Amino acid sequence: VIAGAGAAGLAAASRLAQRLEGAKIVLIDARKEHLYQPGFTLVAAGIKPAGYVVSDTAQYLPEGVEWVQERVAEFDPEGSKVVTESGAAHPYDYLIVATGLKLDYGAIQGMDVNLIGKNGLGSIYHGPAAAQATWQLMSEFADKGGTGVFLRPATEMKCAGAPLKYTFITDDYLTRRGNRGKAELVYNANNKTLFGVPIGSEKVRMLFQERGIKVNYDRVLRAIDPGRRIASFATPDGGSAELQYDFINVVPPMRAPDAVRNSPLPWQQGPLAADGWMQVDQATLRHARFPKVFGVGDVAGVPKGKTAASVKWEVPGAVDHLVAEIAGTQSDSRYNGYTSCPLITRLGRAMLIEFDYQNNLVPSFPGVIAPLEELWVSWVMKTMALKPTYVSMLRGRA
Protein backbone atom coordinates (compact mmCIF):
# COMPACT_ATOMS: atom_id res chain seq x y z
CA VAL A 1 0.00 0.00 0.00
CA ILE A 2 1.17 3.52 -0.86
CA ALA A 3 -0.56 6.32 1.06
CA GLY A 4 -0.44 9.50 -1.01
CA ALA A 5 -0.35 10.15 -4.75
CA GLY A 6 1.83 13.23 -4.85
CA ALA A 7 5.34 13.27 -6.28
CA ALA A 8 6.75 10.69 -3.85
CA GLY A 9 3.75 8.35 -3.98
CA LEU A 10 3.53 8.26 -7.77
CA ALA A 11 7.29 7.82 -8.15
CA ALA A 12 7.18 4.93 -5.65
CA ALA A 13 4.21 3.31 -7.44
CA SER A 14 6.00 3.51 -10.78
CA ARG A 15 9.22 2.00 -9.46
CA LEU A 16 7.45 -0.80 -7.59
CA ALA A 17 5.32 -1.64 -10.64
CA GLN A 18 8.49 -1.94 -12.72
CA ARG A 19 10.33 -4.11 -10.22
CA LEU A 20 7.72 -6.40 -8.71
CA GLU A 21 5.93 -9.12 -10.64
CA GLY A 22 2.62 -10.35 -9.33
CA ALA A 23 2.46 -7.88 -6.47
CA LYS A 24 -0.76 -6.10 -5.57
CA ILE A 25 0.05 -2.39 -5.39
CA VAL A 26 -2.64 -0.13 -3.95
CA LEU A 27 -2.30 3.66 -4.15
CA ILE A 28 -4.61 5.59 -1.82
CA ASP A 29 -5.35 9.28 -2.34
CA ALA A 30 -8.50 11.32 -3.02
CA ARG A 31 -6.75 13.97 -5.12
CA LYS A 32 -7.63 13.75 -8.81
CA GLU A 33 -5.49 16.77 -9.70
CA HIS A 34 -1.73 16.49 -9.58
CA LEU A 35 0.08 19.72 -8.74
CA TYR A 36 3.63 20.47 -9.89
CA GLN A 37 4.51 22.37 -6.74
CA PRO A 38 8.01 23.53 -7.82
CA GLY A 39 6.16 25.66 -10.38
CA PHE A 40 4.05 27.62 -7.89
CA THR A 41 6.72 30.31 -7.51
CA LEU A 42 6.90 30.68 -11.30
CA VAL A 43 3.13 31.23 -11.43
CA ALA A 44 3.38 33.80 -8.63
CA ALA A 45 6.20 35.51 -10.55
CA GLY A 46 4.06 35.94 -13.68
CA ILE A 47 6.38 33.62 -15.62
CA LYS A 48 3.95 30.70 -16.06
CA PRO A 49 0.12 30.48 -16.18
CA ALA A 50 -1.72 28.69 -13.38
CA GLY A 51 -2.47 25.76 -15.69
CA TYR A 52 1.27 25.05 -15.97
CA VAL A 53 1.25 23.36 -12.56
CA VAL A 54 -1.98 21.33 -12.94
CA SER A 55 -2.38 17.88 -14.49
CA ASP A 56 -4.32 14.68 -13.78
CA THR A 57 -3.11 12.10 -11.28
CA ALA A 58 -4.51 9.36 -13.54
CA GLN A 59 -2.04 10.10 -16.32
CA TYR A 60 0.90 9.05 -14.12
CA LEU A 61 -0.74 5.93 -12.69
CA PRO A 62 1.28 2.84 -13.68
CA GLU A 63 -0.55 -0.03 -15.35
CA GLY A 64 -1.75 -2.60 -12.86
CA VAL A 65 -1.72 -0.27 -9.84
CA GLU A 66 -5.08 -0.02 -8.04
CA TRP A 67 -6.07 3.54 -7.16
CA VAL A 68 -8.39 4.00 -4.18
CA GLN A 69 -9.73 7.55 -4.47
CA GLU A 70 -10.10 8.27 -0.77
CA ARG A 71 -8.03 9.82 1.99
CA VAL A 72 -6.36 7.73 4.64
CA ALA A 73 -8.04 8.47 7.97
CA GLU A 74 -6.06 6.10 10.18
CA PHE A 75 -2.69 4.35 10.15
CA ASP A 76 -2.50 1.14 12.14
CA PRO A 77 1.06 -0.19 11.88
CA GLU A 78 0.50 -2.67 14.70
CA GLY A 79 -2.37 -4.22 12.73
CA SER A 80 -0.61 -3.74 9.36
CA LYS A 81 -3.48 -1.84 7.81
CA VAL A 82 -4.69 1.62 6.90
CA VAL A 83 -8.30 2.78 7.12
CA THR A 84 -9.80 5.27 4.68
CA GLU A 85 -12.44 7.91 5.42
CA SER A 86 -15.24 5.57 4.29
CA GLY A 87 -14.15 3.11 7.00
CA ALA A 88 -12.67 0.62 4.54
CA ALA A 89 -9.59 -1.21 5.86
CA HIS A 90 -6.67 -1.91 3.54
CA PRO A 91 -4.23 -4.49 4.92
CA TYR A 92 -0.63 -4.44 3.74
CA ASP A 93 2.58 -6.43 3.85
CA TYR A 94 4.53 -3.24 3.26
CA LEU A 95 3.47 0.39 3.53
CA ILE A 96 4.98 3.47 1.93
CA VAL A 97 3.71 6.69 3.52
CA ALA A 98 3.92 9.58 1.06
CA THR A 99 1.11 11.81 2.30
CA GLY A 100 2.97 15.08 1.98
CA LEU A 101 2.31 17.69 4.65
CA LYS A 102 -0.40 19.96 5.99
CA LEU A 103 -0.39 23.72 5.46
CA ASP A 104 -1.47 24.95 8.89
CA TYR A 105 -2.91 28.37 8.04
CA GLY A 106 -5.17 28.03 11.08
CA ALA A 107 -2.14 28.48 13.36
CA ILE A 108 -1.91 32.13 12.25
CA GLN A 109 -4.48 34.15 14.18
CA GLY A 110 -6.72 36.15 11.83
CA MET A 111 -5.56 34.37 8.68
CA ASP A 112 -8.29 33.50 6.20
CA VAL A 113 -7.30 31.71 2.99
CA ASN A 114 -10.40 33.15 1.29
CA LEU A 115 -8.77 36.57 1.51
CA ILE A 116 -5.69 35.57 -0.50
CA GLY A 117 -5.54 37.98 -3.42
CA LYS A 118 -7.25 40.83 -1.54
CA ASN A 119 -5.94 43.79 0.47
CA GLY A 120 -2.32 43.00 -0.28
CA LEU A 121 -2.56 39.48 1.21
CA GLY A 122 -0.67 36.95 -0.88
CA SER A 123 0.27 33.33 -0.24
CA ILE A 124 1.84 31.19 -2.93
CA TYR A 125 1.54 27.80 -1.24
CA HIS A 126 -2.25 27.51 -1.02
CA GLY A 127 -2.59 26.37 -4.63
CA PRO A 128 -2.43 27.47 -8.29
CA ALA A 129 -5.26 30.01 -7.94
CA ALA A 130 -3.61 31.53 -4.85
CA ALA A 131 -0.27 31.71 -6.66
CA GLN A 132 -1.97 33.47 -9.59
CA ALA A 133 -3.77 35.89 -7.23
CA THR A 134 -0.49 36.56 -5.41
CA TRP A 135 1.13 37.47 -8.73
CA GLN A 136 -1.62 40.01 -9.45
CA LEU A 137 -1.10 41.62 -6.04
CA MET A 138 2.67 41.63 -6.31
CA SER A 139 2.50 43.17 -9.78
CA GLU A 140 0.23 45.93 -8.47
CA PHE A 141 2.67 46.47 -5.60
CA ALA A 142 5.57 46.73 -8.06
CA ASP A 143 3.64 49.45 -9.92
CA LYS A 144 3.13 51.56 -6.79
CA GLY A 145 5.71 50.73 -4.15
CA GLY A 146 5.09 50.64 -0.41
CA THR A 147 6.12 48.13 2.24
CA GLY A 148 6.50 44.49 1.24
CA VAL A 149 6.73 41.88 4.01
CA PHE A 150 8.22 38.41 3.53
CA LEU A 151 8.78 35.55 5.98
CA ARG A 152 9.12 31.84 6.63
CA PRO A 153 7.58 29.77 9.43
CA ALA A 154 9.42 28.28 12.40
CA THR A 155 8.44 24.75 11.38
CA GLU A 156 10.11 22.52 8.82
CA MET A 157 8.78 23.48 5.39
CA LYS A 158 8.77 22.40 1.79
CA CYS A 159 11.23 24.27 -0.41
CA ALA A 160 12.62 26.51 2.30
CA GLY A 161 14.25 28.69 -0.37
CA ALA A 162 10.90 29.72 -1.89
CA PRO A 163 10.26 32.70 0.46
CA LEU A 164 13.74 34.02 -0.40
CA LYS A 165 13.12 33.58 -4.13
CA TYR A 166 9.92 35.57 -3.95
CA THR A 167 11.62 38.38 -2.07
CA PHE A 168 14.28 38.59 -4.80
CA ILE A 169 11.67 38.42 -7.57
CA THR A 170 9.63 41.23 -6.03
CA ASP A 171 12.76 43.36 -5.68
CA ASP A 172 13.56 42.80 -9.35
CA TYR A 173 10.08 43.75 -10.57
CA LEU A 174 10.20 46.96 -8.53
CA THR A 175 13.60 47.78 -10.01
CA ARG A 176 12.52 47.03 -13.58
CA ARG A 177 9.46 49.25 -13.21
CA GLY A 178 11.46 52.11 -11.76
CA ASN A 179 9.79 51.96 -8.35
CA ARG A 180 12.45 50.37 -6.14
CA GLY A 181 13.10 53.71 -4.45
CA LYS A 182 9.41 53.89 -3.47
CA ALA A 183 9.46 50.53 -1.69
CA GLU A 184 10.79 48.97 1.47
CA LEU A 185 11.19 45.19 1.49
CA VAL A 186 11.44 43.41 4.85
CA TYR A 187 12.36 39.74 5.18
CA ASN A 188 11.58 38.11 8.55
CA ALA A 189 13.78 35.10 9.29
CA ASN A 190 12.45 32.60 11.81
CA ASN A 191 15.89 32.16 13.38
CA LYS A 192 19.36 33.69 13.07
CA THR A 193 20.06 32.51 9.52
CA LEU A 194 18.60 33.05 6.08
CA PHE A 195 19.32 29.63 4.57
CA GLY A 196 19.98 26.18 6.02
CA VAL A 197 23.47 25.90 4.50
CA PRO A 198 25.80 28.41 6.19
CA ILE A 199 27.71 29.39 3.05
CA GLY A 200 24.41 29.84 1.20
CA SER A 201 23.01 31.91 4.05
CA GLU A 202 25.98 34.26 3.90
CA LYS A 203 25.57 34.67 0.14
CA VAL A 204 21.88 35.55 0.54
CA ARG A 205 22.74 37.99 3.35
CA MET A 206 25.21 39.75 1.07
CA LEU A 207 22.73 39.95 -1.81
CA PHE A 208 19.98 41.27 0.50
CA GLN A 209 22.37 43.91 1.81
CA GLU A 210 23.45 44.85 -1.72
CA ARG A 211 19.83 45.24 -2.84
CA GLY A 212 18.62 47.11 0.22
CA ILE A 213 16.37 44.35 1.55
CA LYS A 214 15.95 44.72 5.31
CA VAL A 215 16.20 41.61 7.49
CA ASN A 216 14.62 40.93 10.89
CA TYR A 217 15.98 37.80 12.58
CA ASP A 218 14.09 35.62 15.09
CA ARG A 219 10.66 36.77 13.92
CA VAL A 220 7.79 34.32 13.52
CA LEU A 221 4.38 35.37 12.14
CA ARG A 222 1.69 34.63 14.71
CA ALA A 223 -1.23 36.89 13.72
CA ILE A 224 -2.46 38.98 10.84
CA ASP A 225 -5.10 41.70 10.56
CA PRO A 226 -6.07 41.70 6.86
CA GLY A 227 -8.38 44.70 7.19
CA ARG A 228 -5.74 46.95 8.73
CA ARG A 229 -2.86 45.28 6.86
CA ILE A 230 -0.85 44.58 10.00
CA ALA A 231 1.26 41.47 10.59
CA SER A 232 2.27 40.56 14.17
CA PHE A 233 5.48 38.62 14.75
CA ALA A 234 6.60 36.81 17.88
CA THR A 235 10.01 37.96 19.12
CA PRO A 236 12.61 36.03 21.16
CA ASP A 237 11.81 37.96 24.36
CA GLY A 238 8.25 36.65 24.31
CA GLY A 239 6.86 39.90 22.98
CA SER A 240 5.59 40.85 19.57
CA ALA A 241 6.47 43.23 16.77
CA GLU A 242 3.94 44.68 14.37
CA LEU A 243 4.63 45.45 10.73
CA GLN A 244 2.32 47.47 8.52
CA TYR A 245 2.35 46.16 4.95
CA ASP A 246 1.09 47.03 1.50
CA PHE A 247 1.93 43.54 0.28
CA ILE A 248 2.71 40.37 2.24
CA ASN A 249 3.55 36.82 1.18
CA VAL A 250 2.28 34.57 3.99
CA VAL A 251 4.01 31.20 4.37
CA PRO A 252 2.06 29.06 6.86
CA PRO A 253 3.50 26.65 9.42
CA MET A 254 3.77 23.15 7.97
CA ARG A 255 3.14 19.91 9.79
CA ALA A 256 2.51 16.23 9.11
CA PRO A 257 -1.10 15.49 8.12
CA ASP A 258 -3.45 14.76 11.02
CA ALA A 259 -3.77 11.06 10.16
CA VAL A 260 0.00 10.68 10.55
CA ARG A 261 0.31 12.93 13.60
CA ASN A 262 -2.43 10.99 15.40
CA SER A 263 -0.86 7.60 14.66
CA PRO A 264 2.10 5.70 16.20
CA LEU A 265 4.29 6.71 13.23
CA PRO A 266 5.78 10.10 14.31
CA TRP A 267 8.94 10.75 16.27
CA GLN A 268 8.22 10.39 19.98
CA GLN A 269 10.83 12.93 21.07
CA GLY A 270 13.37 15.35 19.65
CA PRO A 271 13.05 18.36 17.32
CA LEU A 272 10.90 16.52 14.74
CA ALA A 273 8.32 15.22 17.24
CA ALA A 274 6.19 18.33 17.81
CA ASP A 275 4.93 18.55 14.24
CA GLY A 276 4.38 14.83 13.75
CA TRP A 277 7.06 13.98 11.18
CA MET A 278 7.54 10.24 10.64
CA GLN A 279 10.33 8.53 12.55
CA VAL A 280 12.36 7.05 9.72
CA ASP A 281 16.02 6.18 9.40
CA GLN A 282 17.57 9.07 7.51
CA ALA A 283 19.64 6.82 5.25
CA THR A 284 17.10 4.10 4.38
CA LEU A 285 13.76 5.91 4.97
CA ARG A 286 12.58 2.79 6.83
CA HIS A 287 10.54 3.40 9.98
CA ALA A 288 12.57 3.05 13.17
CA ARG A 289 9.93 0.99 15.02
CA PHE A 290 7.87 -0.58 12.23
CA PRO A 291 10.25 -2.20 9.72
CA LYS A 292 7.53 -2.90 7.14
CA VAL A 293 6.83 0.84 6.86
CA PHE A 294 8.74 3.46 4.86
CA GLY A 295 8.26 7.22 4.76
CA VAL A 296 9.22 9.30 1.71
CA GLY A 297 8.73 12.88 0.60
CA ASP A 298 7.62 15.77 2.77
CA VAL A 299 6.21 13.61 5.61
CA ALA A 300 9.57 11.92 6.30
CA GLY A 301 11.17 13.09 9.55
CA VAL A 302 14.69 13.66 8.28
CA PRO A 303 16.92 16.73 8.75
CA LYS A 304 16.66 17.81 5.09
CA GLY A 305 14.65 16.94 2.08
CA LYS A 306 11.25 18.54 1.62
CA THR A 307 11.81 19.15 -2.10
CA ALA A 308 11.03 17.30 -5.32
CA ALA A 309 14.80 16.95 -5.81
CA SER A 310 14.98 15.00 -2.56
CA VAL A 311 12.11 12.74 -3.63
CA LYS A 312 14.12 11.87 -6.74
CA TRP A 313 16.78 10.30 -4.49
CA GLU A 314 14.70 9.14 -1.52
CA VAL A 315 12.23 6.97 -3.42
CA PRO A 316 14.69 4.75 -5.34
CA GLY A 317 16.54 4.01 -2.09
CA ALA A 318 13.41 3.15 -0.11
CA VAL A 319 12.12 0.98 -2.96
CA ASP A 320 15.51 -0.80 -3.13
CA HIS A 321 15.23 -1.75 0.54
CA LEU A 322 11.62 -2.88 0.21
CA VAL A 323 12.28 -5.00 -2.89
CA ALA A 324 15.45 -6.47 -1.37
CA GLU A 325 13.53 -7.62 1.70
CA ILE A 326 10.90 -9.32 -0.46
CA ALA A 327 13.73 -11.07 -2.32
CA GLY A 328 15.39 -12.11 0.94
CA THR A 329 18.49 -10.00 0.31
CA GLN A 330 19.80 -6.67 1.57
CA SER A 331 20.25 -3.32 -0.12
CA ASP A 332 23.20 -1.02 0.45
CA SER A 333 21.31 2.03 -0.88
CA ARG A 334 21.78 5.10 1.29
CA TYR A 335 20.11 8.49 0.99
CA ASN A 336 22.67 11.15 1.92
CA GLY A 337 20.19 13.98 2.38
CA TYR A 338 20.62 15.37 -1.11
CA THR A 339 18.41 18.30 -1.86
CA SER A 340 18.55 21.11 -4.35
CA CYS A 341 17.39 24.70 -4.38
CA PRO A 342 17.35 26.61 -7.67
CA LEU A 343 17.37 29.94 -5.84
CA ILE A 344 16.08 32.62 -8.21
CA THR A 345 17.83 35.91 -7.41
CA ARG A 346 16.38 38.01 -10.23
CA LEU A 347 14.44 37.37 -13.45
CA GLY A 348 16.84 35.49 -15.72
CA ARG A 349 19.30 34.51 -12.97
CA ALA A 350 19.44 31.82 -10.29
CA MET A 351 21.90 29.99 -8.03
CA LEU A 352 21.67 26.19 -8.15
CA ILE A 353 22.52 25.23 -4.56
CA GLU A 354 22.74 21.45 -4.00
CA PHE A 355 23.66 20.05 -0.60
CA ASP A 356 23.40 17.05 1.74
CA TYR A 357 22.69 16.27 5.41
CA GLN A 358 26.08 17.67 6.43
CA ASN A 359 25.52 20.93 4.50
CA ASN A 360 28.24 19.95 2.06
CA LEU A 361 27.76 21.45 -1.39
CA VAL A 362 27.30 18.53 -3.82
CA PRO A 363 27.07 20.10 -7.30
CA SER A 364 25.74 17.90 -10.09
CA PHE A 365 27.65 19.87 -12.73
CA PRO A 366 31.04 20.70 -11.19
CA GLY A 367 33.06 23.04 -13.34
CA VAL A 368 29.96 24.00 -15.32
CA ILE A 369 27.53 25.44 -12.75
CA ALA A 370 29.06 27.22 -9.76
CA PRO A 371 26.50 26.84 -6.94
CA LEU A 372 26.84 30.35 -5.49
CA GLU A 373 26.92 32.30 -8.75
CA GLU A 374 23.86 33.96 -10.25
CA LEU A 375 23.71 32.23 -13.62
CA TRP A 376 21.40 32.25 -16.62
CA VAL A 377 21.83 28.49 -17.07
CA SER A 378 20.52 27.87 -13.53
CA TRP A 379 17.50 30.02 -14.39
CA VAL A 380 16.87 27.94 -17.53
CA MET A 381 17.06 24.76 -15.47
CA LYS A 382 14.46 26.08 -13.02
CA THR A 383 12.05 27.49 -15.58
CA MET A 384 12.37 24.92 -18.40
CA ALA A 385 14.41 21.78 -17.63
CA LEU A 386 13.11 20.74 -14.21
CA LYS A 387 9.52 19.93 -15.14
CA PRO A 388 10.38 17.27 -17.76
CA THR A 389 12.79 15.71 -15.25
CA TYR A 390 10.03 15.79 -12.62
CA VAL A 391 7.57 14.04 -14.94
CA SER A 392 10.21 11.38 -15.69
CA MET A 393 10.57 10.90 -11.92
CA LEU A 394 6.81 10.32 -11.56
CA ARG A 395 7.03 7.65 -14.24
CA GLY A 396 9.93 5.95 -12.47
CA ARG A 397 12.52 6.87 -15.07
CA ALA A 398 14.53 9.72 -13.53
SS3 state of residue 233: strand
What SS3 class is residue 118?
strand
Alpha helices, H only, the chain: 7-19, 40-44, 128-144, 162-176, 198-210, 258-261, 308-327, 376-380, 386-394
Cα–Cα distance between 312 and 141 in angstroms, integer? Answer: 36
The helix (run of H) or strand (run of E) holding residue 83 is strand 81-84
- Cα dihedral: 223, 163, 357, 325 (round 10): 80
**CA–CA separation, 91 and 26 (whole Å):** 10
Q: In terms of DSSP bridges, do strands 102-103 and 339-346 run parallel, antiparallel, or are they unpaired?
A: unpaired
Would you call 184 exposed, middle or buried from its count of C-beta atoms within 10 A (0-12, 13-18, 19+)?
A: middle
Cα 283-287-293 angle, rounded to 5 deg: 120
The DSSP string of 304-341 is S--SHHHHHHHHHHHHHHHHHHHHT----------EEE
Whether residue 359 contacts residue 337, with contact meaning beta carbons closer than 8 Å, is answered with no
Please list the active-site residues: 159, 341
Q: What angle do CA 70, 74, 80 make, to 5 degrees?
A: 105
β partners of residue 41 = none
Identify the three-state secondary structure at position 377: helix
